[in-house]
Structure 1
Amino acid sequence: MDGPASGEASELGEESTSGEAFESGDPHRARFEANREHWESMVEPVSATDGTAEIESFLAGESALLPVQREELGDVDGARLLDLQCSIGTRTLSWAREGATVTGADISAESVRVARELADEAGLADRAEFVRSNVYDLPDGHDRRYDTVVTNFGVLCWLPDLDRWAAVAAELLEPGGTFYLAEHHPIATALSDDLGTGGEPLSVEHPYFSTDDPVTAPDGSTHKWPHGLGEILTALADAGIRIRFVHEYPFSPIRRSSEMVQDDRGRWRFEGDRDLPLLVTVKGELRSDAPGV
């Protein structure tokens, strides 16, 4: 596949809006729109030249990926890689630095803008493109398939229907292609927002299992849906993705507690004997007999 220019119009339904994935009257329609507006407001002040520490680190040559992500996914040189819900694209572009030709998709127009700016600033525009789309609408209107589909931290909580999400990933994969997920562990996200400070016992403050209604912020600005590990794996298996491994780790890409310390590989973890699953990774491949193949 020829390397796409980051600023060009995309064939992947670039102007897909947040509500198109849901029927009129579906409460998820308004919730998705509220979430999109939240991310637009969060990212609007950001640019590739006057951005966050994440952007500055990336432009200085640092990878936005954890070492475990690169180790587990393996060689992507020459691969056509799709990053679902890519945010501002630092991880997507980190895969491009590993040699992949990448496409990132996100619901936020502002996030896509910053990602394109970053591709230009980093000299990666010849093999990176970014499109604005609701993840559920992404397959509409095109027949492109990818060697690898990835999704990164903090994305599944924004989706009410994981069966539909997994079906999208499968539809966009070549038969035999690789799916790779790195996500905050559902157990960690169910616990208190600061995972036990000052020696206090941990407490469950958020749902672990899927619920009919989302967890809504007090001001109504965001809506999130919990998903247990079993639900995640079952959705992928039902979509025709053969699971190769599920790995759980006691470290996180973000500091989830004031009692966490950063190790020499940039990972946040607890000192002592507080051993919690903070990160989960899943790798699989699309079966040749998967639905729709």
Structure 2
Amino acid sequence: MKKVKYYFDSESLAYKKISPKKRRSFAYISLFLLSSGLFGTLAFVVLLNTPYFETPKDRLQAREIDNLKIRYSILNKKMDQIDEVLAGIEERDNNIYRIYFNTSAIPDEQRKAGFGGVNRYKELEGYNNSELVINTSKRVDVLSKELVVQSKSLDEIMKLAKEKNKLLSAIPAIQPVRNENLRAVASGFGYRSDPFTKVRKFHAGMDFSSKTGTPIYATGDGIVENADNTASGYGNHIVIRHGYGYETLYGHLSKYKVRAGQHVKRGDIIGYVGSTGRSEAPHLHYEVHKNGEVVNPLNFYYGNISAAEYVAISKLANQENQSLD
């Protein structure tokens, strides 16, 4: 029951009923409604930001976020596997391929270097899962750079391999006269007795004794530089420039089968044994030059003789006997 209020009127000496003004009642009602609206709005906002009140859209977004976290987790596991495989390739690259081809290893600082300067991931900051996204993005970038470095390294190794094949083909690696055609290894590399003066002097090659007309073979790939008799003492001779610092000389030939400027392959017949020039008997005088210096040809016969044959030839070549030229 609504309370009725009174006031004392001093003129009439009586109590009179207080009638509320309509404006004040309307103000009270308006204030109440406004307060209720504000409180309701605040409560709604609070409820929206609690886990106890989710809209269908919120639940969908939550599922999408969880799904993305799972995908990032799987991506990071795959990158772990890629890291492991790439580390194995890098290990073989540095410690096998580059050592074999005599080139310097790529340091880890170069392979795994980050990206300095401007913050590349600034646009990814400020989100609930920024750390996960940024770390994954960094890993992808570093892996991409490592793959680029490794790819370039393998391109370099391929180029070195091609050059290595050329080098291996150019090295004078076989005997210039086959064993079945040999009478003897008449003289080796080093100091020997001169057949004409009987004075001990340095013999710069090896003498292979064989009958006139025995085939002589190019010991490595190269280009014929000379095929003439202009060099004193060598008679008819051939010089082959193999590249990589190697040259070979074949002296005292009876005749040529090649000409200057011609490309030859290892095993090609280039001429025939003779006794032209300063020679005591039919034989081939054979020299190997490396970077302008004469070297012992005995060190290069690994291409077409067995270990036993090498030992036998080595014993003969190392005897201080008389040379044939």
For this structure pair, what is the TM-score category when the shorter chain's length is used for normalisation? under 0.3
TM-score normalised according to structure 2 size: 0.20
